[in-house]
Structure 1
Amino acid sequence: MSLNETYVTVFGRVGSDPDLKERGHSPHLSFRLASTPRQFDKNLGYFIDKTTTWFQVECWRQLAQNTADSVQLGQPVIVAGKLRTHEWKDDNGEPRSRLVLEAFAIGHDLNRGTASYTKSALRSSETSTSEVTATPFPADEYSVTSLPLAADAA
């Protein structure tokens, strides 16, 4: 993590079809996320919806591919990531900006339903010709060192 970055976790529903594209050699996925808080109104006796906040969610690499294979329009999800501002100029040369939630984790909200998990296979660009060892973590995330099975009796 870096200092002065804004990390958030947002509960919401997928508000647009996830759009998967290849950028260079990395998959990139984006979708809109709608987060609508609910509040109990004592006078009415039921919950009312407050104003919806919309986020543009973006993710890369294996998270992008797994999200494309798992998430659909309307599903309840939890997205954790950092906020960043995307700036550009429109066709008239006017400066524009929008807030983007750059995700590092996305999952279904299990308060709203059930899910099943399937471990994804490594992409062909992530495999190598070197010897493959069995580890509980993907090779690109953690280094693996062997631990001795028995103490030396010296």
Structure 2
Amino acid sequence: MQVLSVISTKGGVGKTTVAANLGAFMADAGLSVLLIDLDIQPTLSSYYKLRHVATSGIYELISTNETRLEYLVSHTTINNLHLIFSNDDKGQLNTLLLHAPDGRFRLKNLMAIFEPYYDVVIIDTQGARSILLEMAIVASTHLLSPITPEVLAAREFKRGTLQLIEDIQPLKHLGISIPIINMLINRVPSVSNNAKLIKTMLETLFQHDSNLCLPQTYIPAIEAYTKSPILAEPELKTFPQGNEAPRKMLRLNVRFDNPVPSKEGYEDRGGFWAEVELWHQDAEDWNKLYQKGMRVLVQGRMTYQEWDDKTTGEKRSAFKIEARDVGILPYRVLSVALEQKADKSQETAPPMEEPD
């Protein structure tokens, strides 16, 4: 069984997202994966929908040495992906472990209960130096540390994460093997020269550190797909709900372009089609607003669906976006008319003051 901790003494570098995605990818590849949320902010615990919620979590595992998996392990809706959720919202485990003789070694000693059932254990940690973080490192066979291509992030990585690894090296005298850190450069913008320069600087700065490994892999920043045209007339659907008001859904067929700056202006690097579903009680009114040819900015959650074609029986798949908002961009829009509210029609904005 492999144990991977995603660590950093700096918050906001993407540890939880990396841990959640790695777990899902490995589970999808057929491995049996257990996620452990050691962060007092239980973001990983709510990342995936659970089909079975255990009665206990990380607090019971660490504080009482609970070893019954039926009480500890929750099951996500993804096959082969399980979770021990964080329920130490008051941060009591840090104090408990500081006063326990086996504090830094407790999780390592408990790992044997998972070995018959899991191929990989992935531990998400808090973005600050603590005994919980040291305990996760001691229990691990592999360490992964995301770092963003920023000067301050590089300084904190050297001063915080690498210094922590250096400080716990004496544990080797007790037979504890401290794994080297795999540094993962995260959120690298595709068009930022500064970010690329810092990425190169990080690779040069740390290439000879004996506690560090520099994989060739890096994670690009999320690119927003803007100026996306609606390429078919919107479709309004209504779903009856018995005695309750029917649910309304507006479906838009949108082409998400991916324009990248070039010497000639912008170059299309490809994109994708997706159905955008907007569920709202005002969907019938909005159906009159959105038109074929409009460019929109979509915010929402993308899902990937597979189904069997009813006619041919073949496997089909497509992306779908469950939208929170669909904003209209001003391209090709000739005029805008707003509905006046009776009690607000006379209100005007205060005059702007001229600077001295």
- Normalization by structure 1: what TM-score? 0.60
**Which runs of at least 4 in structure 1 moved beyond 6 Å after TM superposition?**
none
2:270 corresponds to: 51
Whole-Å separation in 2 of the counterparts to 1:92 and 1:111? 40
Whole-Å separation in 1 of the counterparts to 2:271 and 2:257? 4
The yes-or-no answer on 1:31 pairing with 2:248 is: no
Any unmatched runs of 5+ in structure 2? 1-42, 50-222, 241-245, 342-356
Aligned mate of 2:324, from 83, 104, 107: 104
Do the aligned partners of residues 117 and 10 (structure 1) sit closer, same or farther apart at CA in structure 2, a change above 3 Å counting? Answer: farther
How far is the alpha carbon of 1:4 from its aligned partner?
4.3
The Cα RMSD (Å) is 3.2
Whole-Å separation in 1 of the counterparts to 2:247 and 2:294? 25
Equivalent runs, 1:75-114 vs 2, <5 Å: 75-90=294-309, 91-110=311-330, 113=333
Whole-Å separation in 2 of the counterparts to 1:66 and 1:107? 15
Equivalent runs, 1:1-154 vs 2, <5 Å: 3-4=47-48, 10-11=225-226, 12-24=228-240, 25-42=246-263, 45-90=264-309, 91-110=311-330, 113=333, 115-118=336-339
Any unmatched runs of 5+ in structure 1? 121-154
Whole-Å separation in 2 of the counterparts to 1:21 and 1:52? 27
Whole-Å separation in 1 of the counterparts to 2:305 and 2:315? 11
How far is the alpha carbon of 1:112 from its aligned partner?
6.6
What is the number of equivalent residue pairs in this alignment?
Answer: 117
How far is the alpha carbon of 1:99 from its aligned partner?
1.1
Whole-Å separation in 2 of the counterparts to 1:55 and 1:98? 7
How far is the alpha carbon of 1:15 from its aligned partner?
1.3
Whole-Å separation in 2 of the counterparts to 1:119 and 1:105? 22
8 Å Cα contact 1:9-1:80 kept in structure 2:
no
Instruction: Report the residue type matching 1:85 in the other structure.
Output: Y
8 Å Cα contact 1:108-1:115 kept in structure 2:
no
8 Å Cα contact 1:75-1:108 kept in structure 2:
yes
Higher relative contact order (CA closer than 8 Å, sequence separation 6+): 1
Quote the sequence identity (%): 25
Instruction: Report the residue type matching 1:16 in the other structure.
Output: A
> In terms of Rg, which structure is larger?
2
Whole-Å separation in 2 of the counterparts to 1:107 and 1:117? 15
Whole-Å separation in 1 of the counterparts to 2:48 and 2:340? 34
- Normalization by structure 2: what TM-score? 0.29
How far is the alpha carbon of 1:73 from its aligned partner?
0.4
